[in-house]
Amino acid sequence: MKISVKMTKMASPPLILVTGLLAIIAVGTLLLMLPAASHGEYSLHWIDALFTATSAACVTGLVAVDVNTTFSVFGEVIIMILMQLGGLGFMTMATLFALVLGRKLSLKDRLLLKEAINADSMEGIVRIIRKVMIFSFTIEGIATVILALRWMADMPAGQAFYYGLFHAVSLFNNGGFDLFGNSFVQYRGDWLFNLIASVLVISGGLGFIVLSELFDYRRRRKLSLHSKLVLSVSGGLIVIGTLVIFVFEFTNMRTLGPLNWEEKLYASLFQSVSTRSSGTSTVDITGLRQATQFFMMLLMFIGASPGSTGGGIKTTTFIIMMGAIIAMVRGRNDIVFFKYCVPKVMLMKALTIIIISLLIFIIVVMLLLTTEDAQFLSLAFEASSAIGTVGLSVGVTPQLTDIGKLIICATMFIGRIGPLTIAYALRPKSDKQLYRHPEGHIIIG
């Protein structure tokens, strides 16, 4: 059995990725509408089932209903599977089954995998996927055991293992779902939980290419420019985010104010890491000062790294634009990182992603302001969380109208697939341009 089907011979890789995710969401919605998926005698309303399935498959974590009190174990397992499929990607999971069955991948399959993990070429693509799967399941398995052992002091062993598995999958895939009802507020001073949760979120947000290179680092002793940028920018944003949240919320009695120094540091670090695309929290997000919420919106908009389980415009897009600004201020023509020059086409791509994402964000906020009765910053925060597939919320999502929920669903989908992938999937086939227009002069600034 090959991964390729008849449709793949006619459709482009971006279109297949779009339709594949839509199919996963559709199946997930139907399963969550089954009476067995919820508590009580009645099945979940279709809009809430669609919203939950979209949020899980797009690894966002925004919820219209409380997961723990609404869904049965069957429903929670469906959500966990959707997060795993959405985080690693359906093409990656399909490749896993093909490799297990000993099947060879066609050229079209390799093109799809290249598109799915944002790789530059098809060289060694199967080897990368194999390493990523081993790394992913290994770290999820280790985290499951550690979290289960930690939670055995608070609950029965069977429940502790189930909770460990669910939250290991949720955190590594940046899913944002939890079974506690208040995220992880009760564990804000627990160093073991904070360590394991942060490692899971960061690992999932680095990207498949970076994970593969880190996996081989002991043997090769070198990293590519991409991996160096991802690691340095991710680390820098986490440190800056921790400091800003710590300073801005230090005296806020609704968040860090009542905590001791150790708990303040843990909570600040966890919330900074969470904005990478995790969506979980150890403080009350609604209690944050507006300045902190706005700053977190910026971090959520940047998001995780390319080819990862997270969303956003991506860390490399952000640093390329920052490099262009620095180069322009210094009067230089080239963007240089680690003694390597960034091609101009990368700058154009980064600019395109940022502008399209900003336009989508503006449109979504304007639509929500039209359909919902809530404050501007609250709706903007939910929109930023959706487009960055983060899942942090100030409590507006459960009160959204059906139209508002559909708007957020579309935003989460676009955020997970990426605006460029959707644009490539929808664009008509064009012929190669055989000429160039003469250059013109435009005054700027």
Q: Give the start-to-end residue ranges of the domains of the chain.
A: 6-426
Higher pLDDT, 445 or 373: 373
CA distance 412 to 5: 27
Whether residue 370 has pLDDT greater than 80 = yes
| 370 and 400 Cβ atoms separated by less than 8 Å | no
Contacts of 30 (CB under 8 A, 6+ apart): 49
Contacts of 291 (CB under 8 A, 6+ apart): 248
Whether residue 190 has pLDDT greater than 70 = yes
| 411 and 386 Cβ atoms separated by less than 8 Å | yes
What would the mean pLDDT of 254-265 be, rounded to a whole number? 93
Which range is most confident: 37-46, 152-161, 276-285, 430-439? 152-161
pLDDT confidence of residue 100: 53
CA distances (Å), 172 to each of 168, 180, 310, 364, in order?
Answer: 6, 17, 10, 28
Whether residue 116 has pLDDT greater than 70 = no
| 210 and 325 Cβ atoms separated by less than 8 Å | no
Contacts of 235 (CB under 8 A, 6+ apart): none
Whether residue 406 has pLDDT greater than 80 = yes
What would the mean pLDDT of 294-323 be, rounded to a whole number? 91
CA distances (Å), 215 to each of 132, 136, 220, 268, 292, in order?
Answer: 9, 11, 10, 29, 36
Supply the angle between the helices 157-172 and 125-151 in degrees, to the nearest 10: 140
Instruction: Convert 306-321 to b/e letters by CB count within 10 Å (16 or more is b).
Output: bbbbbbbbbbbbbbbb
What is the DSSP secondary structure assignment for residue 77, as one 8-state letter?
Answer: H
User: Cα-flanking dihedrals φ and ψ of residue 71, to 5°?
Assistant: -100, 145
Share of the chain above pLDDT 70, in %: 84
CA distances (Å), 125 to each of 117, 118, 215, 296, 357, in order?
Answer: 9, 11, 15, 35, 28
Contacts of 400 (CB under 8 A, 6+ apart): 64, 372, 408
For residue 410, what are its two tokens? 């579309």
CA distances (Å), 407 to each of 4, 50, 372, 416, 420, in order?
Answer: 32, 12, 11, 14, 19
Mean of all residue pLDDT scores within the chain = 86
pLDDT confidence of residue 104: 62
pLDDT confidence of residue 6: 45
Higher pLDDT, 444 or 122: 444
Whether residue 294 has pLDDT greater than 80 = yes
What would the mean pLDDT of 309-333 be, rounded to a whole number? 91
CA distance 361 to 390: 14
Encode pLDDT of 54-99 as tens digits: 999 998 989 999 898 899 999 999 999 999 988 877 556 555 555 5
pLDDT confidence of residue 51: 96
Q: Using CB atoms within 10 Å of the CB of residue 73, give its burial: 0 to 12 exposed, 13 to 18 middle, 19+ buried.
A: exposed
Higher pLDDT, 2 or 323: 323
Helix (H, G, I), strand (E, B) or coil at 336: strand
Q: What is the pTM of this model?
A: 0.88
What would the mean pLDDT of 109-137 be, rounded to a whole number? 67
Whether residue 300 has pLDDT greater than 90 = yes
| 377 and 294 Cβ atoms separated by less than 8 Å | yes
CA distance 389 to 270: 17
According to DSSP, the residues that pair with 89 across neighbouring strands are none
CA distance 25 to 295: 31
Q: Which is it for strands 336-337 and 340-341: parallel, antiparallel or unpaired?
A: antiparallel
| 130 and 97 Cβ atoms separated by less than 8 Å | no
Encode pLDDT of 162-174 as tens digits: 999 999 999 998 8
Side chain identity at 213, as an amino acid letter?
A: E
Helix (H, G, I), strand (E, B) or coil at 184: strand
Q: How confident is the model at residue 176 (pLDDT cuts 50, 70, 90)?
A: confident
pLDDT confidence of residue 98: 55
CA distances (Å), 293 to each of 59, 285, 296, 345, 372, in order?
Answer: 21, 8, 5, 34, 20
- Least confident range of 112-126, 202-216, 307-321: 112-126
Any idea what the Cα angle at residue 79 is, between residues 278 and 313, rounded to 5°?
35
